């Protein structure tokens, strides 16, 4: 799996809010009392699981990122390992993958490896960016990107994306990994890119921003194909 070295720059407020929404979504869908957060990076959101699970583990292939994660939280069990090949001597009730599958060399291998670490009745919860999001559709109409499935140079070289996903292609990867799909859908409706939404929210104040952001979540619940991110639950 290719991992791109990143600077430890704090995300703007909107990016952090999105990360918390994604983490809360996993918490809402969770099962059992143990969780493995695969591709946890610096562990920015992994600690949010502590209130809901008795055992919290984080896994990442980067020793550098895990060093930061461990320095920020001594309770979580952080483990270095490759998402495609890791072997742990235990199983988990919930395995979380937040914005990981678009980065790895072989997502089916990742899903199969995670399946091998599921407890009885456990679930894998995977979230990925949605290539049919409304912002990408608008980008096509504006001539910014060639198609909703087109990856920009920034996505490839800066973010390290290797593919784009739709609900269908995400479901196909899970099925090909031998997993049973339990649920899928969208998470967040975003009419503008994060940087523009951040500027808008910053200009409006906290009260307006909180109402607006919650409205984006609520509005997107029945518009999965237009949401910025999509998810799947399987076992």
The tokens for 71 are 């320095």
In the block, tokens 């500027």 appear at 199
Task: Answer whether residue 214 shows pLDDT above 90.
Answer: no
Task: Output the average pLDDT for the chain.
Answer: 90
pLDDT at 8: 37
Is beta strand 118-129 parallel, antiparallel or unpaired with respect to 181-188? unpaired
Looking only at the bridges linking them, the beta strands covering 118-129 and 92-98 are: parallel
Q: Which domain holds residue 103?
A: 13-234
Half-sphere exposure of 182 (CA within 13 A, CB side): 12
* Domain count for the chain: 1
What is d(CA 56, CA 46) in angstroms, rounded to the nearest whole number? 8
The label of the residue with tokens 């523009």 reads 196
For residues 18 and 194, is the Cβ–Cβ distance under 8 A?
yes
Return the percentage of the chain with pLDDT > 90, whole number.
69
* 90-102 confidence digits (pLDDT tens): 999 999 999 999 9
Q: Give yes or no for residue 175 having a pLDDT over 90.
A: yes
Q: In this predicted model, what pLDDT tens digit does every residue of 107-152 receive, in sequence order?
A: 999 999 999 999 999 999 999 999 999 999 999 999 988 999 888 8
* Pair of tokens at residue 90: 């235990």
pTM for the structure as a whole: 0.89
Element at 34 (helix H, strand E): strand 34-38
Residue 77 and residue 3: Cα distance in Å, rounded? 21
pLDDT tens for each residue of 33-73: 999 999 999 999 999 999 999 999 999 999 999 999 999 99
- Answer yes or no: is 4 within a domain: no
User: What is the structure's pLDDT at 85?
Assistant: 96
CATH value at residue 101: 3.40.50.150
Asked if residue 8 belongs to a domain, the reply is: no
Q: Is the pLDDT of residue 186 over 50?
A: yes
Residue 9 has a pLDDT of 38
Residue 5 domain-assigned? Answer: no
Looking at the domain assignment, is residue 7 inside a domain? no
In a domain, 200, yes or no: yes
Does a structural domain hold residue 114? yes
What is the end-to-end Cα distance of the chain in Å, rounded? 23
């Amino acid at each position: 799996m290719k991992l791109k070295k990143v600077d430890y720059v704090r995300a703007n407020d909107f990016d952090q809010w999105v990360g918390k929404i994604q983490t809360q979504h996993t918490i809402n869908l969770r099962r059992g009392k143990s969780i493995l957060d695969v591709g946890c990076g610096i562990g920015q959101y992994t600690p949010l699981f502590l209130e809901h699970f008795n055992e919290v583990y984080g896994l990442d292939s980067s020793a550098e990122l895990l060093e930061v994660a461990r320095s920020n939280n001594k309770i979580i069990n952080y483990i270095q390992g490759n998402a495609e090949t890791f072997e742990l001597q235990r199983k988990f009730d919930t395995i979380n993958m937040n914005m990981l599958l678009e980065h790895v060399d072989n997502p089916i291998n990742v899903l199969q490896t995670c399946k091998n670490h599921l407890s009885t009745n456990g679930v894998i919860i995977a979230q990925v960016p949605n290539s049919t999001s409304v912002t990408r559709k608008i980008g096509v109409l504006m001539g910014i990107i060639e198609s909703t499935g087109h990856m920009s140079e920034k996505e490839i070289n800066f973010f390290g994306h290797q593919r784009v996903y739709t609900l269908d292609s995400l479901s196909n990867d899970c099925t090909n990994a031998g997993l049973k799909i339990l649920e899928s859908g969208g998470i967040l409706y975003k009419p503008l890119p994060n940087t523009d939404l951040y500027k808008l929210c910053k200009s409006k104040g906290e009260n307006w921003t909180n109402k607006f952001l919650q409205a984006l979540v609520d509005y997107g619940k029945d518009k999965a194909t237009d949401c910025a991110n999509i998810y799947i639950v399987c076992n």
